[in-house]
């Protein structure tokens, strides 16, 4: 089990950056645990509601995994507000407020906002996995890589849902 960074990189600026990005994504995942139920409740189709509910379970696991990564590093799991994701989450609220309840347009907007969040997470987990490898933190790299693959899967599922007819239905709404 890893308990510290490789000795040559232990006090490096790269280590500091890695920890800052871990704190960022930890905040993101904890916020998403709170936001996903709201998006799920606002969704119209069963398919989207189910996808958001399933991803909520994955997101809880992502929080736990990040806790494991912090523990591997001998650090306390602590989040730091992510302005980028805060903006995406605010936008998701606006989408709900500006679309009609029960409309396909609302689902299109929810999918759009959720995919923005997924793409942010994919970029972050991909970068973190590579930095973990550089720092010699192979167990952390594996944990981060596992989450990366789940985020990619969630993004793919959202695309499938959009293409299954929701986008077309929204185009027909007045």
- Domain residue ranges of the chain, discontinuous segments joined by +: 7-172
What are the two backbone dihedrals, phi and then psi, of residue 102, each rounded to the nearest 5 degrees? Answer: 80, 10
pLDDT tens-digit profile, the chain (174 residues): 444 444 445 568 998 999 999 999 999 999 999 999 999 999 999 999 999 999 999 999 999 999 999 999 999 999 999 999 999 999 999 999 999 999 999 999 999 999 999 999 999 999 999 999 999 899 999 999 999 999 999 999 999 999 998 988 888 988
**Topology at the third CATH level for domain 7-172:** Ferritin (1.20.1260)
Contact call for residues 37 and 56 (beta carbons, < 8 A): yes
Rounded Cα–Cα distance for residues 64 and 83 (Å): 22
Task: Provide the pLDDT for residue 171.
Answer: 86
d(Cα 83, Cα 9) in Å, to the nearest integer? 28
pLDDT of residue 12: 81
pTM beyond 0.85: the answer is: yes
Q: Round to the nearest angstrom and report the end-to-end CA distance of the chain.
A: 58
pLDDT tens per residue, range 33-45: 999 999 999 999 9
User: For residue 10, what pLDDT is reported?
Assistant: 58
pLDDT of residue 170: 87
Distance CA 17, CA 47 (A): 38
Q: Could you say which DSSP state residue 45 is in?
A: S
Across 31-61, b (16+ Cβ under 10 Å) vs e yields bbeebbeebbebbbbebbbebbeebbebbee
């Amino acid at each position: 089990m890893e308990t510290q960074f490789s000795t040559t990189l232990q006090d490096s600026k790269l280590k500091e950056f890695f920890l800052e990005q871990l704190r960022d994504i930890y905040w993101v995942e904890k916020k998403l645990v709170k936001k996903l139920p709201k998006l799920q409740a606002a969704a119209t189709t069963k398919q989207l509601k189910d996808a958001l509910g399933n991803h909520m379970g994955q997101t809880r696991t992502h929080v736990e995994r990040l806790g494991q990564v912090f523990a591997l590093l001998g650090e306390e799991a602590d989040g730091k507000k992510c302005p980028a994701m805060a903006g995406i989450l605010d936008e998701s609220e606006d989408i709900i407020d500006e679309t009609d309840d029960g409309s396909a347009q609302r689902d299109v907007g929810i999918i759009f906002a959720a995919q923005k969040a997924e793409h942010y997470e994919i970029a972050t987990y991909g970068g973190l996995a590579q930095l973990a490898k550089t720092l010699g933190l192979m167990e952390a790299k594996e944990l981060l890589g596992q989450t990366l693959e789940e985020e990619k899967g969630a993004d793919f599922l959202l695309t499938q849902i959009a293409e299954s007819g929701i986008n077309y239905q929204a185009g027909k709404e007045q």
